[in-house]
Structure 1
Amino acid sequence: MPLRSPLPEEVGPASTPRPRPLTPERPGGWQPPTGPSRRSAEALDAAFEASAGRPFVTFAQPDTSPWTPPESYDGRRRPRPSKARAAAVAACVVLGVGLIGGAAAGSWLTGDPGSDGSRDTFAAAGQLWHGVPVDELFPPTLQGEGAGPGGTDRTWTRIAVAPDSGCADAFDPLLRKALAPVGCLRLLRATYTDATRSNVTTVGLLFTKGDATAMTALKARFEKDGLDRRTDLMPRPYAAEDTVAAGFGDSQRASWTISVLTEAPVVVYAVSGFADGRTVTDPQPAADAMKSGATTAPAQSGLGHEAQGLADRVERGLRKTAASATEQPS
């Protein structure tokens, strides 16, 4: 309701204000004001009397901080874990697992003669040629994720498996001579084609008679003299009749790779060419044909990637099979 100015007779002389009856005491000794605001004061008096003298209630502001559950107590004080401590624990776990895994992998990859597991794996790998199904050594289909030029995917299908044999006609004469120090126990070969059936590749596993020392010496010689890059030391393809590789002969070899293992008495190789039987006058090692900017026919057609990709996957399968052969039953 709007307030009006008090009448002169209500206010009285400015120097002697008219007394008024007192109302009950308010909490804290508060007294209503006098003068022009009396009307408002009277309204407050009425509200106070209606409340029967009940004191005003004040409400505390709610606590909006996040609730934290109390820690259980068993008589011992435990330090509160921190993010730094949790990270340190996780790092220790990862480091420990890495060291254990690295040690196991290292003995398999380096063929450490002082490791019993390495010697067992070497011996077991040398016997795989007669104890493992051919589909395990040369799977009917191999996937090459990122194995093609520019990281493209590849799929290879096996089209022929050669009968296991000796090494008399599998290598050029100079390559056969270079491999002579480790001998030839058995040779396994298979030929694959790509998804377009325009390329063919023969992959070989030469099981030697050499021990770990002889294989290490042979690998060192290949690396020192670059024997795996010479065009007069190329492996020969397996041209299976009635397949797209029927015309895959010595003159059709376009790219190749040779890998001498030291943890197993095995030499892994692959040689690739065109399925249409065209002659290649400038064959190129896979390592060179896979380089960025290479312009040779093997490089442009991706035959370097074909040879290296298939050899890598067959070699991985051999390692896995040899490792499984030496695992102790649980």
Structure 2
Amino acid sequence: MGPPPPRASARFPDAPPTVGRGLRSPDAPPGVPPRSPDAQPGVPPQPTHRPAARGAGAPAETASETTTRLRPVPAHPTGRPGPTPPAPPGPRPDHGGPRGAAPAAGPGEPRRGGAPDPALSWSAPMAPGGAPGPGRATVVSFGEPEGYDEHARPRPLGRRSRSQTVAAAACLVLGAGLITGAATGGWLADGSEGPAARNGFTAAGALWHNVPVDQLFPPALQGKGAGPGNADRTWTRIAVAPDSGCKGAFDPLLRKVLDPVGCARLLRATYTDATQSHVTTVGLLFTEADAAGMSALARRFDTERLDRRTDLMPLPYAAKGTAAAGFGPGQRASWAISVLTDAPVVVYAVTGWADGRTVDPPQPAGDAMESGAGTGPAQAGLGHEAQGLADRIERGLRKKAGTATERPS
């Protein structure tokens, strides 16, 4: 005899159970339906109401009663997915179609109600030559980082405003100019031995016999703003000494200081002011030294302040029959000495009273020109006389040296 037939509920799942109805657990809360005695633990209870089995003459199933099954992805010999089969015909849900119908996926849209399209995966194979396969996403867009401008408004980073660009360009130009100027200044300060510098130095050393005396010592000189309180001055040349050596032209101590640079030639001239109250001798000592020797002498004068020592004053040139006839060593009131480094020349000037009075003590031009100086030379403006004449003779010498180095056009 065979096994007993299964329960009606097992043979007909849609039929309601016929036994065990009304059983309730004593611990079940109110409102929970009774559980069948043959129900397995952990399995949720079946609903108490099931639709009746569809019999003959029953209406056909509707779309709401039909469950749409997922379509399997067919394998492809090349590893690529085949063409996507069209979705079942029917209206899309957003167009009033029956609820539960799956809409058809449009071109480029992800599949709905099914597995994702493998062609849109990052691991999708590439076509020969490195081109992406059909349907593969190849464009990736990243957002730009944002910053803020001077008005606290957001702006993309990496972009400069017009003002920032102009400021950056100005800084670049100024920086290049400063670097070029520093390099040029360093070249000049270091006493470069370039061809132009050597030619200018040599040309300046030959000016004493290549340039007329009226160009080295003009008959009249204008000193605009050269007097006390920036007053104008006018000087007239009254005597010119013949060019000579340096024997007897300097006090012994000053001669000793100048010995290292030698003496090639000495030129001197004496001037008087418009009132003929002051007389000033200007001298140009052309040395035998090179640029290094002149630089060493200039450093010594600057370091030891030799231009301010009263025992290192130059001697005047007293020409007979002129306003400077009585201008001797005792009449020296103020003086100035300048050692050039771009020319083998020492420029000096010494001034005093035209009436032959003595001055004790004399005062260097730099001290006599200071504001508030109360000495006799300072009150009379003799420091301005010596410094003003020395400056203008030096400027003329530098101008002639620069002209001599220019090539004819």
Q: TM-score, normalised by structure 2?
A: 0.56
**What is the correspondence of 1:162-241 to structure 2 with a 5 Å cutoff?**
162-241=241-320
Query: How many Å separate the matches in 2 of 1:183 and 1:83?
Result: 61
Query: How many Å separate the matches in 2 of 1:184 and 1:276?
Result: 32
Query: How many Å separate the matches in 2 of 1:141 and 1:88?
Result: 53
Matched with 2:382 is 303
Query: How many Å separate the matches in 1 of 2:401 and 2:244?
Result: 21
Query: How many Å separate the matches in 2 of 1:101 and 1:326?
Result: 23
Unaligned residue ranges in structure 2 (runs of 5+): 1-161
Query: How many Å separate the matches in 1 of 2:217 and 2:173?
Result: 38
Query: Per the alignment, do residues 86 and 245 of structure 1 end up closer, same or farther by CA in structure 2, a change over 3 Å counting?
Result: farther
Matched with 1:47 is none
Matched with 2:373 is 294
Q: Does 1:326 align with 2:405?
A: yes
Structure 1 runs, 4 residues or longer, greater than 6 Å off: 82-108
Query: Per the alignment, do residues 297 and 106 of structure 1 end up closer, same or farther by CA in structure 2, a change over 3 Å counting?
Result: farther
Query: Which letter maps to 1:126?
Result: G
Query: How many Å separate the matches in 1 of 2:319 and 2:185?
Result: 37
1:102 Cα offset (Å):
9.2
Higher relative contact order (CA 8 A, sep 6+): 1
Q: Does 1:278 align with 2:357?
A: yes
Could you tell me whether the CA contact under 8 Å between 1:184 and 1:209 is conserved in 2?
yes
Matched with 1:263 is 342
2:226 alignment partner, one of 136, 144, 147 = 147
1:186 Cα offset (Å):
0.4
Could you tell me whether the CA contact under 8 Å between 1:157 and 1:193 is conserved in 2?
yes
Cα deviation, 1:250-294, whole Å, max 9, x if unaligned, reads: 000000010111111100000000101101111000000000111
1:171 Cα offset (Å):
1.2
Query: Which letter maps to 1:137?
Result: L
Query: Which letter maps to 2:399?
Result: K
Query: How many Å separate the matches in 1 of 2:353 and 2:401?
Result: 33
1:115 Cα offset (Å):
2.3
Query: Per the alignment, do residues 250 and 329 of structure 1 end up closer, same or farther by CA in structure 2, a change over 3 Å counting?
Result: same
Query: Per the alignment, do residues 276 and 101 of structure 1 end up closer, same or farther by CA in structure 2, a change over 3 Å counting?
Result: farther
Query: How many Å separate the matches in 2 of 1:86 and 1:190?
Result: 57
1:159 alignment partner, one of 222, 230, 238 = 238
Report which of the two has the higher share of helix.
1
1:325 Cα offset (Å):
0.3
Could you tell me whether the CA contact under 8 Å between 1:198 and 1:274 is conserved in 2?
yes
Query: Per the alignment, do residues 116 and 296 of structure 1 end up closer, same or farther by CA in structure 2, a change over 3 Å counting?
Result: same
Cα deviation, 1:75-97, whole Å, max 9, x if unaligned, reads: xxxxxxx9999999999999999
Query: How many Å separate the matches in 2 of 1:188 and 1:149?
Result: 28
Q: How many residues matched?
A: 248
Query: Per the alignment, do residues 86 and 99 of structure 1 end up closer, same or farther by CA in structure 2, a change over 3 Å counting?
Result: same
Query: Which letter maps to 2:200?
Result: T
1:101 Cα offset (Å):
9.0
Query: Per the alignment, do residues 277 and 96 of structure 1 end up closer, same or farther by CA in structure 2, a change over 3 Å counting?
Result: farther
Matched with 2:326 is 247
2:242 is paired with a residue of what secondary structure? coil
1:329 Cα offset (Å):
1.7
